Amino acid sequence: MAGPLTVPRLPPHDPGTPALSVVDMHTGGEPLRIVLAGCPEVVGPTLLAKRRYMRQHLDHVRRRLMFEPRGHRDMYGAVLVPSELPDAHLGVLFLNNEGYSSMCGHAVLALGRFALDFGLVPAPPADAREALVNIHCPCGLVAAFVECEGGRSRGPVRFHSVPAFVLAADFLVDVPGHGKVVVDVAYGGAFYAFVSAEKLGLDVCSAKTRDLVAAASAVTEAVKAQFKINHPDSEDLAFLYGTILTDGKDTYSEEPTTNICVFADEQVDRSPTGSGVTARIALQYHKGLLELNQTRAFKSSATGSVFTGKAVREAKCGDFKAVIVEVSGRAHYTEYLM
């Protein structure tokens, strides 16, 4: 019997086009493509400067990784870079079908596991049950806590967010095709508009995804046109990332509340959206619907996957009252491509 077929480590390729090696993961069904090697140097004294540099000079890398034939319109990516923060183990730039986001919770959950398994953080003691990974995201430093055994990750991860706050609550936006709609805008490392899908004539749990996408996109464009987004720390963070349609069940319950996030260029998050859960927890706490350390479950209407979240302590962001939010989920490896 013939032995196994031997193949070269890399297929023939144009030497002028660097080969990118990646690890593919997912959290709650939402993909994450992490670049291991092959990305040109991302220049800049700060992480936000590196984000600007990559957008201006290396966007071809994002397009290669995200779009077909290597990706798809809902692919998500991460490029690891050095951080200027002394407490950070790594810095990260997030990639999507439109550009570069400021925060991504499902990616942080996956990157925590990846960083531990690939030796990007000091090995924890053999008897440790959790390892700390400090990840510098464009929005700030995020602490991930990776469940482990024998120094290796096991899957569950939680993170503590940057200060999350409500920019505007219960204001009216004129949405074409839907009239005046009550909208909230909250920040969880990225800004989202929040609307109960029922106000748009839809059931977030049963409506067709294309109808939810169309409605969410209409809200996003309306808010961008009628409301100015601002962030007290940086103009780089002052943009509306997308709209999250909810089932309207914001009052505390032990039952999961369902939502769907449509972000970037009508990209659909398969997970409950980590930064969206962060912002939604801040919104519920702001409205007096949730107490500190009261855990809620959030379900994705796209896949049924679940994250949990809770406000762990109060904080400030500029003049805004804010909370630090803990989000928990489970990350998985899917593929290692050289």
What tokens appear for 66 in the block? 């995200």
In the prediction, which pLDDT does 8 show?
57
Give pLDDT, residue 283. 98
Cα distance between residue 331 and residue 329, in whole Å: 7
Pairing mode, strands 90-95 and 130-137: parallel
- What integer pLDDT is reported at residue 44 of this predicted model? 98
How many angstroms separate the CA atoms of 49 and 100, rounded? 12
Residue 250: CB atoms within 10 Å = 18
Query: CA nearest 204: which of 253, 259, 279?
Result: 259
- Amino acid present at 330: R
139-178, pLDDT tens digit by residue? 999 999 999 999 999 999 999 999 999 999 999 999 999 9
CB atoms within 10 A of CB 293: 10
At 106-148, the pLDDT tens digits run 999 999 999 999 999 999 998 999 999 999 999 999 999 999 9
Residue 1: what pLDDT?
Answer: 47
Q: pTM here?
A: 0.95
Q: Find the catalytic residue in 39, 104, 139, 261.
A: 104
Strand partners, 329: 157
SS3 287: coil
**What's the pLDDT at 336?**
72
User: Residue 197: which residues within 8 A CB-CB, separation 6 or more?
Assistant: 203, 204, 207, 212, 215, 245, 246, 247, 248, 260
Q: Which residues contact 35 (CB under 8 A, 6 or more apart)?
A: 20, 21, 22, 61, 65, 77, 78, 79, 80
Q: Is 137 a catalytic residue?
A: no
Among 31, 12, 9, 7, CA closest to 21: 9
**Alpha carbon distances (Å) from 199 to 35, 53, 208, 252:** 41, 40, 16, 20
Task: Please state the separation of Cα 39 from the chain's center in Å.
Answer: 21
Given a cut of 70, the residues of the chain with pLDDT beneath it are: 1-13, 15-16, 337-338
Query: Would you state the pLDDT for residue 92?
Result: 98
Q: Which residues contact 48 (CB under 8 A, 6 or more apart)?
A: 138, 234, 236
32: which residues sit within 8 A by CB, 6+ positions away? 24, 25, 26, 76, 77, 78, 106, 107, 110, 111
Torsion of CA 258, 245, 141, 43, to 10 degrees: 130
- Which amino acid is present at 78? A
Upper half-sphere CA count for residue 63 (Cβ side, 13 Å)? 6
Beta carbons of 193 and 219 less than 8 angstroms apart: yes
